[in-house]
């Protein structure tokens, strides 16, 4: 099923390869669903495995640790492999480890399987953005990446509640088994729709330190950590934040609103990422900071919260596309290695947001959230502002080298 790279590119010049890009989006969807599925089923998992809900929650922790610890080593180890082989390796990892999770009767084995699934996700996330860019001409890369990333907000806004409902209805083990079956179909989809590309030759391999020192890479990663920290402080503790307004019983609707707005944000980003990447990031962070101030002033108003969540989702939806495009552009031939760093930084920000939000909640209460978010958003804005030569140059991204 291997396709010649040159022939593939000629074939793609006329339009976007939607089937292949949507297969990548489905891979992202599987990553998010596999990560978050246990979160809504902790009582059922705990009762079945004869453990406490707190120990059941460590299934999410093990997955996150797998992504953090394996993304960079696996990416470096597979640089020379053909790209579709690496993608299929990650997807097969989901089949294997989700199946083990579905049938395991031992808590330790379950945790090991969750770690393995997280490692597969770390490799997949490091690969997806670069793969989407390889499938199209350079002028199409922004739109292609937006499509490839669309699985994430869909999984968060629709897939997670649906997965929780399914687990309650048919049992958490069958829910994981269904995930494995869906992933088998994804393998066939990838084989029929996603073109293959060669890995890097030995002399083209990019050492970790060299990529990290590439001008612009550290600036983009700095924005990733500040922006994602700001987002996750608020997103992780959205229920306690909206409780004073009386909206807590409608938290699922609030999160759905956020997800729909994020999808709209992805569409908007697909229209601006190529010719106004720097401006898009600056505007998104500036609006996010303003929304945080409005939250601080009007946090007791349900209408303010609802409108603010919609705007927040709109500004956040394109974050993955914008930041991964900027990072891959800055890293050049080291894009896959840089994107593996992004996996580590992004997931660290998720964990850090939970820790920072917890400290803020226990120390000053939910009133402190908007001010922390504003400070982090402003810090990200300032990093982008100073990175005008490397990382976030102005103008059309096609005018900044190959």
Give the model confidence (pLDDT) of 4-17 as tens digits: 444 444 344 458 89
| Every domain range in the chain assigned CATH 1.20.1250.20 | 5-204, 208-389
Query: What is the per-residue pLDDT for 398?
Result: 76
Query: What is the per-residue pLDDT for 196?
Result: 95
Give CA–CA dist 248/254, Å, rounded.
9
CA dist list (Å): 43 to 54, 55, 168, 171, 173: 9, 10, 10, 11, 13
On the CB side of 336, CA atoms within 13 Å amount to 27
First to last CA, the chain: 29
> Which parts of the chain register pLDDT below 50?
1-13, 402
On the CB side of 64, CA atoms within 13 Å amount to 18
Give CA–CA dist 327/92, Å, rounded.
27
pTM attached to this predicted model: 0.85
Top CATH class of 208-389 equals: mainly alpha
Query: What is the per-residue pLDDT for 1?
Result: 39
Query: What is the per-residue pLDDT for 8?
Result: 47
Average pLDDT, the chain: 90
Query: What is the per-residue pLDDT for 236?
Result: 78
The crossing angle, in degrees rounded to 10, of helices 335-363 and 319-331 is: 140
Q: Evaluate whether 286 touches 351 at the Cβ level (below 8 Å).
A: no
Topology given in CATH for the domain delimited by 5-204: Growth Hormone; Chain: A; (1.20.1250)
Q: Give the three-class secondary structure for 282.
A: helix
Query: What is the per-residue pLDDT for 58?
Result: 87
Report percent pLDDT > 90 for the chain: 63
Q: Is the dihedral of CA 366, 371, 377, 380 positive or negative?
A: negative
Q: Give the three-class secondary structure for 81.
A: coil
Q: Evaluate whether 107 touches 90 at the Cβ level (below 8 Å).
A: no
Query: What is the per-residue pLDDT for 136?
Result: 93
86-118 pLDDT tens trace: 999 999 999 999 999 999 999 999 999 999 999
């Amino acid at each position: 099923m291997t396709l010649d790279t040159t022939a593939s590119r000629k074939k793609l010049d006329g339009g976007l390869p939607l089937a292949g890009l949507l297969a990548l989006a489905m891979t992202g969807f599987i990553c998010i669903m596999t990560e978050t599925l246990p979160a809504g089923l902790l009582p059922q998992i705990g009762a079945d495995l004869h453990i406490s809900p707190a120990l059941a929650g460590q299934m999410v922790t093990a997955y996150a640790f797998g992504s953090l610890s394996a993304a960079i080593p696996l990416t470096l180890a597979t640089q020379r492999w053909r790209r579709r082989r690496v993608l299929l390796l990650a997807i097969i990892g989901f089949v294997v480890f989700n199946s083990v999770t579905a049938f395991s009767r031992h808590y330790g084995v379950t945790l090991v399987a969750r770690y393995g699934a997280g490692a597969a996700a770390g490799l997949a996330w490091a690969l997806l953005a670069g793969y989407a860019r390889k499938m199209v001409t350079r002028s199409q890369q922004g739109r292609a990446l937006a499509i490839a990333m669309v699985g994430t907000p869909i999984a968060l806004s629709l897939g997670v509640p649906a997965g929780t409902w399914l687990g309650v209805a048919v049992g958490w083990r069958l829910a994981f088994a269904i995930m494995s079956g869906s992933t088998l179909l994804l393998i066939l989809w990838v084989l029929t729709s996603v073109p293959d590309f060669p890995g890097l030759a030995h002399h083209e391999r990019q050492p970790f330190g060299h990529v990290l020192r590439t001008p612009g890479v550290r600036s983009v990663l700095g924005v990733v950590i500040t922006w994602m920290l700001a987002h996750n402080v608020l997103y992780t503790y959205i229920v306690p934040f909206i409780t004073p307004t009386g909206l807590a019983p409608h938290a699922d609707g609030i999160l759905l609103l956020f997800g729909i707005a994020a999808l709209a944000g992805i569409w908007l980003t697909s229209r601006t990422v190529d010719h106004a990447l720097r401006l898009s990031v600056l505007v998104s962070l500036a609006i996010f900071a303003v929304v945080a101030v409005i939250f601080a002033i009007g946090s007791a108003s349900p209408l303010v919260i609802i409108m603010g969540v919609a705007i927040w989702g709109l500004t956040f939806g394109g974050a993955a596309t914008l930041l991964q495009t900027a990072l891959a552009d800055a890293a050049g031939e080291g894009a896959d290695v840089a994107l593996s760093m992004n996996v580590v930084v992004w997931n660290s920000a998720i964990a850090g947001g939970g820790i920072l939000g917890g400290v803020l909640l226990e120390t000053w209460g939910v009133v402190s959230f908007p001010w922390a978010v504003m400070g982090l958003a402003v810090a990200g804005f300032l990093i982008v502002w100073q990175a005008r030569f490397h990382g976030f140059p102005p103008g059309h991204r096609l005018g900044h080298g190959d």
